[in-house]
Each structure stands twice: as structure tokens, then as C-alpha cells.
Amino acid sequence: MKIHRLGLMGVLLISSMVYADPSGLKALSNQELSQVQGQGGADLSLSLSLNQAVPTGSGLSNTYACANGANQYCRLALAFNDRQDQNGNLYWLVFKKIQGTLAIDKFQLDGTTVTVNTNQYRSALKLTFLDEYPIQIRNLGFEALSIETDTGTADSQKGYLSTFVPSTYTGFDQGLERGFVGVNINANLALSGSVKVFSCNGSATSRC
């Protein structure tokens, strides 16, 4: 009998050690919650290539790599206000041979709290950019800007697919497709600071 009573006392003792009295808990106000600090998030990297070979390792690609040899599908074409010639053919503003690579080796994604009014707080998504990790811009731009016109109604007769190369001109751009105003950007863009994204309450007069 003595052994059984000791065993029961041991169980009761262990139970009392893990039991927490809920009467000791205290609700926190918004102000007190705003002082609570924690740590969490992620370090991210980003590489975006358009019509260029995919970067390998730590280097950045600067090699034009369009899948179509004639470059028709490495373009951006805009038709403004459905403008047409006297025969009903559309005019197109065509950016030819679009390409470029954007990369950033490190930026940070975290959660935070922002104050939107007196004693009003919002959970927010925080993006942080660092001076020592600039945005790398390589060969971003286009080779030529051209105004092209449809030659018919078939898909193959669209002006933005034209690959016409003038044969009589002997200047510096001889052998290139018709166009002007090419742009090519190579630079490092250093940013320092953060962007916080959060929701509003949706009321008509709310300005977060």
C-alpha cells in the first residue's frame, strides 16, 4: 500500500509542475502589442531575362537569344486609336529586338507593423533594398523604333511582322531593319530603403 501511495503522489507532483494557472494571463493593449518585437523573414534574389540567354552562376548574360531567327516575335507593337491608312490597313508603332536582363543579388522580405492613425495599427509586408546590392541592368532596351503598316488582312501580313531591310543606304546601320531611336541601357541602380504594403479598412473617407 505504501508503494502505491508514493506512486500516486509522484503523479500528482508531476501534474502540478506542468499545470499553468490561467488567472495569471493578462490581455495586452494595442500599444503594448506594438512594442512586442520578433524576427522573421527571408533574404531573396531575383534575375529576370527577356530574350536573352539565361544567366549562369554569378554572372549576367548579355547575349541576345531570340527563338526566332528573323526576330519577328521579339517585339512590342502598339496600334493607337485604331489608326488606319486610306485602304484600311492599321499603323503600328513597333519596338524591335527588345531584350534585357534585370538582377538583384539580395533584398529582404519581412513582416512589420505600421501606424495609420492614433492607436490604429496594420500588419504590413516590408521589402528592404540595400546599398551594397544594387539592381543590375544589362542590355535593357530595343534596337530600333519603327512605324509599320499592314499589307493585308491575313496574320502573316501584319505590319509588326515586317523584316524589311533597306538596300540602298550605306550609312552606319546598313543591313539593319528599318527603324530609328534605338536604346540600350547598362547600369547599376543602388536603392536604400524599404517599401511597406498594407491594407486599409475600405471606408469611403479612409486614406491610409
Q: What is the pLDDT of residues 141-190, one digit of tens each?
A: 998 999 999 998 888 899 998 888 888 777 777 778 888 888 999 999 99
Distance CA 206, CA 183 (A): 42
Task: Give CA–CA dist 12/18, Å, rounded.
Answer: 10
Question: Quick check: is 159 in a domain?
Answer: yes
Q: Does residue 31 form part of some domain?
A: no
Across 108-123, average pLDDT: 84
List the beta bridge partners of residue 147. 93
Examine residue 87 and state whether it is found in any structural domain, yes or no: yes
Q: Is residue 11 part of a domain?
A: no
190: in domain? yes
Distance CA 98, CA 94 (A): 10
Lowest mean pLDDT among 41-45, 80-84, 93-97, 167-171: 167-171
Residue 172 is assigned to a structural domain of this protein = yes
Grid cell locating 160: 509588326
Count of H helices and E strands in the chain? 2, 9
Residue 17 has what pLDDT? 45
- Is the pLDDT at 203 greater than 70? The verdict is no
| Domain assignment of residue 14, yes or no | no
pLDDT at 141 (0 to 100): 92
Query: By residue range, what is the domain housing residue 163?
Result: 43-55+63-198
Q: Which amino acid is at 4?
A: H
Phi then psi for residue 56, to 5 deg, are -120, 145
pLDDT band at 204 (very low <50, low <70, confident <90, very high): low
15 lies in some domain: no
Distance CA(102)–CA(186), nearest Å, equals 10
pTM of the model: 0.64
How far is Cα 26 from Cα 184, in angstroms, rounded to an integer?
62
Question: What's the domain count of the chain?
Answer: 1
Q: Give yes or no for residue 107 having a pLDDT over 70.
A: yes
Helices (H), the chain: 2-18, 30-34
Instruction: Tell me the residue type at 130.
Output: L
In this model, does residue 84 exceed pLDDT 60? yes
